[in-house]
Amino acid sequence: MAIRRLFIANRGEIAVRVIRAARALGIETVAGVSEADRESMAARLADQAVTIGPAAAAQSYLDGARIVAAALGTKCDAVHPGYGFLSENADFAASVEEAGLVFVGPTPENIRAMGNKLEARRIATEAGVPLAEGSPRVHSVQEARDVAETIGYPLLFKAAAGGGGRGIRIVRRAEELAAAFANASSEAQAAFGDNALFIERYIENARHVEVQVLADGQGTVLHLGARDCSLQRRYQKMVEEAPDFGLPQAVREGLHEASVTLAARIGYRSAGTVEFIVDVDRGAFFFLEMNTRVQVEHPVTEMITGIDIVATQLRIAGGEALNLSQSDIVFHGHAIECRINAEAPLRNFAPTPGRIARWTMPGGPGVRIDTHVEAGWMVSPWYDSMLAKLIVHAPDRAQAVARMAAALGEIRVEGVETTVPFLRTVFADQDYRDGRINTRWLEAAAERFVASKAS
């Protein structure tokens, strides 16, 4: 049954994004906000705003019981979880359904199947999807040492419950193993309440490439092509592009096919992303994880396919079948997204909360801004530091890079320090412009940026 009134269980730009998609479909919206977000853009744009709890996310955006009660209390018939927060919490999705509401996303079983990386690796193996060499759960430093002897260095410790780059530690030499194990497991415990770790072989010259899938839960599973998200700091993405570029055709086709196979295998429903690491030197790819939600970087795929991914989530959740086949998905040009964060690049990207005094964003053909920020907005220390996503679209990659460089040049933000000055140097860099990048490129560029300011 089509959704009529939607509860938005998130904040920031994604809350605004979901409100816009709903409005375009004639769906009413209720923004569930914390006390810190009462004056937010999402609260203003929604048909109604309701306070769900205090600023601390544990008692608001992460409190599933309060959210379900608020959704029922405001006569909503569906809940959109956005990304982060409760979006990949299978128990939350189940509690939404048990309350008689529609969860705009995959089934609780889908989320459960992919939510734990060890379980996801097991399912991917069964589906014939290639994986980087890795271990089952390692319970102790001694077990880790035994695994390291077969896999070799460098290797990664990863949190089985991980996400957002947390609980990952690289180990280059045996001497570093014990400290890395302790750090990764305590970070995983703090972030996810689960300290289970496993080991994966680390690929030095790697690209992060991920495939957007759409499935209606009624038999149709499609892919919307791939994105390159190799530009990362601390395993978190900063710049994303679509389509992927510079990969052999066989790798590209292999990624698409593996993603559709995996999604079909678990009877997936809604939008999802299958993430891979591409070993550039060997021309091979390996499954990393599946994110069972809309992703931050979904707009680059929207720009090159013309498909509104959030609206499609809402239609699928309303019971519609996808009236598309794979050959209907056509790709136009190249899109790039920059995450603009309230962070100080010269102070190790420390968050810079504060009041926005000036907020001038770029415009013109092929420029899109997804944001919740406006002049006067107080950037809260309680939440993620992302202020906006700047997305450009152009006929090819070179023109998209030029368009991004020009757009970044137009930005004027005062009141809080942002990552814009650093991003400008990325788009001026010849290696980046020529596509000579890997997952370690951005951290080296950040070091060069700091050094250039110090001299």
226 binds ligand ADP (CB under 6 A): no
354 binds ligand ADP (CB under 6 A): no
In the complex, minimum distance from the CB of residue 289 to Mg ion, in angstroms, rounded to a whole number: 5
Q: Which stretch binds ligand ADP (CB under 6 A): 44-52, 69-77, 83-91, 327-335?
A: 83-91
Select 316 or 388, whichever has its Cβ closest to ligand ADP: 388
Choose the contact partner of 148 out of Mg ion, ligand ADP, none; CB within 5 to 8 A by kind: none
Select 100 or 110, whichever has its Cβ closest to ligand ADP: 110
111 binds ligand ADP (CB under 6 A): no
Quick one: which of 54, 136, 164, 366 contacts ligand ADP (CB under 6 A)? 164
Select 154 or 366, whichever has its Cβ closest to ligand ADP: 154
14 binds ligand ADP (CB under 6 A): yes
275 binds ligand ADP (CB under 6 A): yes
Q: Which stretch binds ligand ADP (CB under 6 A): 91-99, 290-298, 314-322, 407-415?
A: 290-298
Active site residue 315: no
b (16+ CB within 10 A) / e for 371-406: bbbeeebebbebbbbbbbbbbbbbeebeebbebbbe
In the complex, minimum distance from the CB of residue 108 to ligand ADP, in angstroms, rounded to a whole number: 19
Residue 288 CA: distances (Å) to CA of 35, 276, 455: 37, 5, 39
Strands 269-279 and 284-291 turn out to be antiparallel
Q: Residues 201, 227, 233, 293: which is the catalytic one?
A: 293
Q: Which parts of 389-428 interact with ligand ADP (CB under 6 A)? A: none
243 binds ligand ADP (CB under 6 A): no
Residue number closest to ligand ADP, CB atom: 84
Q: Which stretch binds ligand ADP (CB under 6 A): 29-37, 157-165, 179-187, 426-434?
A: 157-165
Select 241 or 384, whichever has its Cβ closest to ligand ADP: 384
In the complex, minimum distance from the CB of residue 236 to Mg ion, in angstroms, rounded to a whole number: 9
Task: State how far the Cα of 410 lies from the Cα of 420, in Å rounded to an integer.
Answer: 10
208 binds ligand ADP (CB under 6 A): yes
Choose the contact partner of 259 out of ligand ADP, Mg ion, none; CB within 5 to 8 A by kind: none
**Could you give the residue numbers annotated as active site?**
293
Binding site for ligand ADP (CB under 6 A): 10-12, 14, 83-85, 132, 156, 162-165, 168, 200-203, 206, 208, 232, 235-237, 275, 277, 288-289, 291, 295-297, 384, 386, 439
Binding site for Mg ion (CB under 5 A): 275
